[in-house]
């Protein structure tokens, strides 16, 4: 949209799309751990190296990407691509992000099937050691985000009940989607209630 008039539009736009693709392929191929690790690298490429977007605007896009469901790295890729080149740009950027890991995981899925692991005594032993470690890696964010979200004794029952019900595998109440919908709804109604009460108090004081 902000293509300047004196540029040969076709080649310039094609060039930008190609740059967009290669930059996001690089991001997809070299960031381990996904999510936040990826965000800082995307920011460095898009804001500092390529100077496609100003930092403020990037942070706005990031805030948006975070508030939507879905894979954070894909959300921010789509948002950046969309901002630069509309629909085509968003597809190009998202494809760049997912292609490297798609091919790597596909190769692993083909050669490292569940049967291969079970039948090979060495692999079997290695994965027996790795699986309990994975559980620890999942417990870590429970502890760190509980701290970050200031979960105190008054709110701790929520994650406990949610986790226990999902773990129970009982029909209906073990579906995580129910808790996501319920949590959002209750959070909204509660905050609205609090704000209205505050507004009413202020009104009464005057």
Task: Give the pair of three-digit tokens for residue 129.
Answer: 């050691």
Helix, strand or coil for residue 124? Answer: helix
Cβ–Cβ under 8 Å, residues 17 and 86: no
* Min CB(93)–another protein separation in Å: 11
* Min CB(14)–another protein separation in Å: 22
User: Which C-beta is closer to another protein: that of 15 or that of 192?
Assistant: 192
25 binds another protein (CB under 8 A): no
160 binds another protein (CB under 8 A): yes
Please give the residues from 104 up to 123 whose contact with another protein meets the rule CB under 8 A.
104-106, 108-110, 112-115, 117, 122
User: Which C-beta is closer to another protein: that of 11 or that of 172?
Assistant: 172
CB-side exposure of 102: number of CA atoms within 13 Å?
8
Which residues 6+ apart lie within 8 Å of 1 measured at CB? Answer: 86
Interface with another protein by CB under 8 A: which range of 6-14, 16-24, 49-57, 60-68?
60-68
User: Which C-beta is closer to another protein: that of 12 or that of 194?
Assistant: 194
Query: Phi, psi at residue 58, to the nearest 5°?
Result: -60, -45
Cβ–Cβ under 8 Å, residues 15 and 89: no
User: Which C-beta is closer to another protein: that of 10 or that of 110?
Assistant: 110
Query: Quick one: which of 170, 175, 198, 200 contacts another protein (CB under 8 A)?
Result: 175
Interface with another protein by CB under 8 A: which range of 4-12, 14-22, 44-52, 131-139?
131-139
Interface with another protein by CB under 8 A: which range of 9-17, 44-52, 152-160?
152-160
172 binds another protein (CB under 8 A): no
97 CB neighbour count, 10 Å cutoff = 29
Query: Quick one: which of 16, 45, 57, 98 contacts another protein (CB under 8 A)?
Result: 98
Quote the CA–CA distance of 170 and 161 in Å, as a whole number.
Answer: 13
177: left (phi over 0), alpha (psi -120 to 50) or beta: alpha
Radius of gyration of the chain (CA): 23
Interface with another protein by CB under 8 A: which range of 7-15, 16-24, 45-53, 182-190?
182-190
Task: Give the pair of three-digit tokens for residue 117.
Answer: 């692991």
């Amino acid at each position: 949209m902000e293509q300047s008039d004196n540029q040969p539009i076709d080649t310039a736009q094609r060039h930008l799309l190609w740059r967009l693709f290669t930059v996001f392929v690089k991001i997809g191929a070299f960031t381990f751990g996904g999510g936040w690790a990826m965000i800082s690298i995307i920011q460095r490429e898009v804001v500092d190296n390529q100077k496609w977007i100003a930092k403020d605007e990037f942070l706005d896009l990031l805030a948006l990407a975070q508030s939507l469901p879905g894979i954070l790295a894909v959300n921010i890729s789509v948002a950046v691509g969309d901002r630069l080149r509309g629909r085509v740009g968003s597809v190009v950027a998202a494809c760049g992000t997912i292609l490297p890991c798609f091919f790597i995981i596909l190769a692993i899925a083909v050669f490292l099937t569940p049967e291969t692991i079970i039948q090979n005594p060495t692999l079997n032993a290695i994965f027996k050691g790795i699986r309990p470690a994975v559980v620890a890696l999942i417990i870590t964010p429970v502890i760190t985000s509980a701290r970050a979200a200031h979960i105190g004794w008054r709110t701790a029952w929520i994650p406990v009940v949610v986790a226990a019900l999902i773990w129970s595998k009982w029909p209906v109440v073990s579906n995580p989607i129910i808790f996501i919908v319920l949590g959002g709804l209750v959070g909204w109604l509660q905050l609205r209630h609090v704000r209205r009460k505050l507004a009413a108090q202020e009104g009464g004081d005057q």
